Amino acid sequence: MTILGERRSVGADLPLSDGGAHDGTVPTEIPASTGAWRPEMGPGNRLFARIGALTLESGVVLEDVTIAYETWGELAQDGSNAVLVLHALTGDSHVLGDAGDSHPSAGWWEEMVGPGRPIDTDRFHVIAPNVLGGCQGSTGPSTQAPDGRPYGSRFPAITTRDQVAAERLLRDQLGIERWALVTGGSMGGMRALEWGISHPDEVERLAVIASSARATADQIAWNNAQISSIQLDPDYRGGDYYGHDSGRGPCAGLGIARRIAHTTYRTADELESRFGNRAQGSEDPFDGRGRHQVTSYLDHHAVKLARRFDANSYITLARTMSTHDVGRGRGGVAEALRRIRARTLVVAIDSDRLFPPELVREVAEHAPRAEWHVAISPIGHDAFLLAHPGLEEWIGALLDD
């Protein structure tokens, strides 16, 4: 294990992601019940793999599972250049590309993946699946069960290991025997770790960014608050809101969950420097109706998520994150991490309150072939989505090794 301890400042002078130039306007057009992808939207850049039945850790069998995914670059004849990119909680398979009718947001990691980028699609064949339990084409609560009705409240609890099992069936269908790299941040990093532990001979390199080997009490507490905000929305209807006569779903509750989450993704210092206690435009917060700038910013992100995500998927995936523990049934976290054989890059963000460096460092301390870096950023957890000179260098070096 190599503990380098290098710190690289990132994000301070770079454009903010997802609303950094927010002008205070809040989109008002939101879906009646769910922002999940639907076939009538068209596939866009998605491909779909029917991976068959999947037996979950709970013993429940999900029949006829579909995984949506996107690819970039050509697979080498010997299959040695395949890279698996795993998204975070509200991400999807659209790592790079324009927004459109089929893809509500532009690519979420275009700084890292693409021609000439650190994960160079002229050199590597990149595959990005939408996670099991998600809502952008893969089997999840909003998709049809075998009886033709949406799963809704019937969708079972799933674990990180279940999600990796689904991704492995996808890999088998694609004829790939070994990953040159498995990488992800946040929830994606949890799955990347599970890949390295569950299938150590199938992962050559591993990059875990702003993630951890286990959920903490703090993470579980924040997830619980977000889940409760959705479940308490009167339009949640126990999870069976699809096609309800009212035409409404728990978009308000999902928006509250997003406000809570987004606050934890950023830092108090960053919010203060951007917004302070200033009013939004001509609005007057003192009259009981006007908003502060930071309130308008959170409203913007709440509506934006409701337009592209599903409340049941949010609950499903937040619960999955809360049960994440690579050491479960394996003799503890340290023993599990020692199973990793891949050359491993572990990156923490110094201002990340959800995945603080001391938590992320646990991975580097026990993975046998790990390099450890701390990136300095005022942004907080969301910095892993932004342009990172350090991260670009570190992943580039890992792939060149």
- Among the listed residues 198, 352, 366, 388, the single catalytic one is 352
Q: Note if 352 is an active site residue.
A: yes
- Among the listed residues 296, 381, 382, 388, the single catalytic one is 381
Find the helix packing angle between 251-265 and 217-231, rounded to 10°: 160
Q: Centre a 10 Å sphere on the Cβ of residue 204 and count the other Cβ atoms it contains.
A: 18
Looking at beta carbons, which pairs linking 195-199 to residues 24 or more positions away fall under 8 Å? Answer: 195/84, 195/164, 195/167, 196/339, 196/340, 196/341, 196/342, 196/344, 196/367, 197/326, 197/330, 197/336, 197/337, 197/339, 197/340, 198/161, 198/164, 199/164, 199/168
Task: Select from 254, 200, 209, 298 the least CA-distant residue to 36.
Answer: 254
Give the strand pairing for 125-129 and 205-209. Answer: unpaired
Q: Note if 381 is an active site residue.
A: yes
Tokens of 22: 């927010």
Q: Note if 313 is an active site residue.
A: no
Gap between the Cα atoms of 190 and 162, Å rounded: 12
Identify whether the C-beta of residue 373 lies closer than 8 Å to the C-beta of residue 8. yes
Gap between the Cα atoms of 285 and 276, Å rounded: 13
- Among the listed residues 186, 211, 313, 351, the single catalytic one is 186
Q: What letter would DSSP give residue 354? A: S
Give the strand pairing for 47-55 and 61-72. Answer: antiparallel
Catalytic residue ranges? 186, 352, 381
